Copies of this chain bind each other. A is one copy, B any other.
């Protein structure tokens, strides 16, 4: 009862918000209601989720509309003999029908969650130019687990968070249920996200204590009617830290019993708890390898603990060791591929999109397609750790699409068909996005960053959706349907990630950022303790050339790809230009398809990136009078920052490359503003998202 009235309270707030000045709080859910009673909305069924769906429709349906929300279990709906079977648990179907002799638009699924997703789909349809008359829609999610990963710490900071502190006010939680928790769940439900990992993968054992389990349960209670399950990151050494055991060896019976009891305890508080996410033996985190056991041993032990309750384990493949001198890009594959077939059936292995770490561009991770017997969960990073934080505009739809559409070289298989399970018939499938959500009023630190949350949800629902239509529907819902604004926004967005690639690391360069906080250029850094922490490790530039040789003559990382791909990558001439220096060490003088040398092309890319940002500023200036003041101004301010910093990246990088290759800039190219000493001396502390 309490939770119910809180939800209604939060909704009332959102409705009242229709008259607000626009500060970004309402995200893409900006429909206003004049007279909530103007439409006829019939509920067939009495669940909180259906009631929420009705509220959503009531806020936005045009006067005179007649809509029915139902599930296929309703006898009158069942009698219509509509194709409900393909919808599965969460799909929806929208179409005009005659029900009990009355014409109505039916919004239904096999579950009330399906109907809720249908309600949001109908509203999206209407907000993007559709009408009720044309509202015949059917969709079912292609991926089962569509999950945000919050790297949120219990002290309420957010690792790599650029939108303020954690949404979760752990200190007051349980007692206070911030209305914002409901608004968060609603936003997620509107784009099909059905799970959320509350705490950082660099986890504290405290999150598994009764105190924090109760707090997580309070959030789960808020999220449940929105179809969202709660998951927790589990610290592998918790049996030692909390249980007083001497070991966390997954083969130890006491350890397994501890986790089983812990899982039982969690499920008593959260009956629909989703399961655990684990970062093990990675960047200092404890794990099964500490005891000579394998990742599968660790994952399966945890999986057994949650299995009786229907829970799952998401086990991250992001591992690289300071004891392993081989190419960092190879290590996850080397460690995980041999484990294929050894994971329990409620384990997913969660693999980052690329083999290094969320760079502006990475070739798809070679594990995709290489572990056919294991469900591989995609991990994208929505927060822009390496793409300019909240201040740079970079729409990640093209990045997600590029990865998902990549052919693995095994028949018609793509990364998307691996992730959605269709390649191998896996039914347990998932996509994770590292959230860009915080306590800032506009949730994601900037209006355009909201689009990255949005596109993640939409592509997790259907990995075959493409970036541009999603950008367009987002812009229509976020800014209204004025085509001048929408076209401008979409145009800016679509090239924005490529611009970041261009001004930070074109032609396959990567990992050239400053140390620790990852903001700004640091390609010269070569003195960090572990070799693979150094930008110099990645670019390997010298007087003759630049790039990481991952062919047979080098680390042979390309051998981790299926042979059609590996063959193509073996030769710089057949390697996609955008990945050239990722796979090859290339002479500065190499003739490129453009007819220019590599060096000339590289310079041109940097310049193109900077110019793109300047162009975004002009475009945004052009819609000044068409966008509400606060959102326009903040975006304009950040575009100015981005242009200055794109120039900084370009100038610092070129200055450094020139210090190595001794080459002049091509004629008519602008000279860097400062010398290398100046760029190397740039230092700042107190950088968001990074807590030493």
**Chain A residues with a Cβ under 8 A of chain B:** 6, 9, 12-13, 16-17, 19-21, 23, 153-156, 164-165, 170-172, 175-177, 179, 206, 211, 391, 439, 441, 629-630, 633-634, 637-638, 640-641, 684-688, 691
Closest to A519 in B: B171
Query: 12 new A-B pairs (CB below 8 Å) besides A6-B633, A164-B439, A211-B684?
Result: A13-B21, A16-B19, A17-B21, A19-B19, A164-B164, A164-B165, A165-B165, A165-B439, A171-B688, A175-B637, A206-B685, A206-B686
CB-CB under 8 A from A156, the residues of chain B are: 686, 688
- 13 pairs, A vs B, C-beta closer than 8 Å: A9-B629, A12-B21, A13-B630, A17-B21, A19-B20, A154-B686, A155-B685, A155-B686, A155-B691, A156-B688, A164-B165, A165-B439, A206-B685
Instruction: Decide if A634 touches B687 in the complex (CB within 8 Å).
Output: no
Q: How far is the CA of A561 from the CA of B155 in the complex (A)?
A: 43
CB-CB under 8 A from A171, the residues of chain B are: 686-688
CB-CB under 8 A from A641, the residues of chain B are: 172, 175-176
CB-CB under 8 A from A165, the residues of chain B are: 164-165, 439
CB-CB under 8 A from A685, the residues of chain B are: 154-155, 206
Instruction: Decide if B633 touches A9 in the complex (CB within 8 Å).
Output: yes
Q: How far is the CA of A319 from the CA of B685 in the complex (A)?
A: 29
Shortest 10 CB-CB contacts between residues of A and residues of B: A16-B21, A19-B19, A13-B21, A154-B686, A155-B686, A176-B637, A175-B641, A9-B629, A171-B688, A175-B637
Q: How far is the CA of A206 from the CA of B17 in the complex (A)?
A: 40
**Could you say which of A19, A21, A206, A634 has the most chain B C-beta atoms within 10 Å of its C-beta?**
A21
Q: How far is the CA of A633 from the CA of B8 in the complex (A)?
A: 13
Instruction: Decide if B154 touches A391 in the complex (CB within 8 Å).
Output: no
**Could you say which of A172, A177, A211 has the most chain B C-beta atoms within 10 Å of its C-beta?**
A172
Q: How far is the CA of A630 from the CA of B178 in the complex (A)?
A: 9
Closest to A10 in B: B630
Q: How far is the CA of A179 from the CA of B172 in the complex (A)?
A: 27
Closest to A180 in B: B441
Min distance, Cβ A26 to any Cβ of chain B, angstroms: 12
Main secondary structure of the interface of A (DSSP, over half): loop
CB-CB under 8 A from A164, the residues of chain B are: 164-165, 439
How many copies of this chain? 2
Instruction: Decide if B640 touches A175 in the complex (CB within 8 Å).
Output: yes
Min distance, Cβ A222 to any Cβ of chain B, angstroms: 14
Instruction: Decide if B12 touches A686 in the complex (CB within 8 Å).
Output: no
CB-CB under 8 A from A687, the residues of chain B are: 171
Q: How far is the CA of A633 from the CA of B12 in the complex (A)?
A: 14
Given A20-B17, A170-B686, A686-B206: A634 and B154 interface contact (C-beta under 8 Å): no
Q: How far is the CA of A177 from the CA of B634 in the complex (A)?
A: 9
Min distance, Cβ A323 to any Cβ of chain B, angstroms: 31
Min distance, Cβ A432 to any Cβ of chain B, angstroms: 25
Q: How far is the CA of A688 from the CA of B155 in the complex (A)?
A: 8
User: Which of B176, B439, B637 is A638 in contact with, Cβ under 8 Å?
Assistant: B176
CB-CB under 8 A from A16, the residues of chain B are: 19-21
Closest to A23 in B: B13
Q: How far is the CA of A439 from the CA of B169 in the complex (A)?
A: 13
Min distance, Cβ A52 to any Cβ of chain B, angstroms: 18
Instruction: Decide if B630 touches A9 in the complex (CB within 8 Å).
Output: yes
Instruction: Decide if B630 touches A179 in the complex (CB within 8 Å).
Output: yes
Q: How far is the CA of A12 from the CA of B688 in the complex (A)?
A: 30
Q: How far is the CA of A485 from the CA of B473 in the complex (A)?
A: 46
Q: How far is the CA of A552 from the CA of B44 in the complex (A)?
A: 82
Closest to A175 in B: B641
Min distance, Cβ A676 to any Cβ of chain B, angstroms: 21
Min distance, Cβ A528 to any Cβ of chain B, angstroms: 22
Q: How far is the CA of A9 from the CA of B9 in the complex (A)?
A: 29
Q: How far is the CA of A179 from the CA of B21 in the complex (A)?
A: 12
Min distance, Cβ A632 to any Cβ of chain B, angstroms: 10
Q: How far is the CA of A333 from the CA of B599 in the complex (A)?
A: 71
Min distance, Cβ A268 to any Cβ of chain B, angstroms: 22
Min distance, Cβ A656 to any Cβ of chain B, angstroms: 23
Closest to A18 in B: B19
CB-CB under 8 A from A176, the residues of chain B are: 634, 637-638, 641
Instruction: Decide if A629 touches B12 in the complex (CB within 8 Å).
Output: yes
CB-CB under 8 A from A179, the residues of chain B are: 630
Closest to A13 in B: B21
CB-CB under 8 A from A206, the residues of chain B are: 685-686
Q: How far is the CA of A633 from the CA of B13 in the complex (A)?
A: 13
CB-CB under 8 A from A13, the residues of chain B are: 21, 23, 630
Q: How far is the CA of A20 from the CA of B176 in the complex (A)?
A: 22
Closest to A176 in B: B637
Min distance, Cβ A641 to any Cβ of chain B, angstroms: 5
Min distance, Cβ A18 to any Cβ of chain B, angstroms: 9
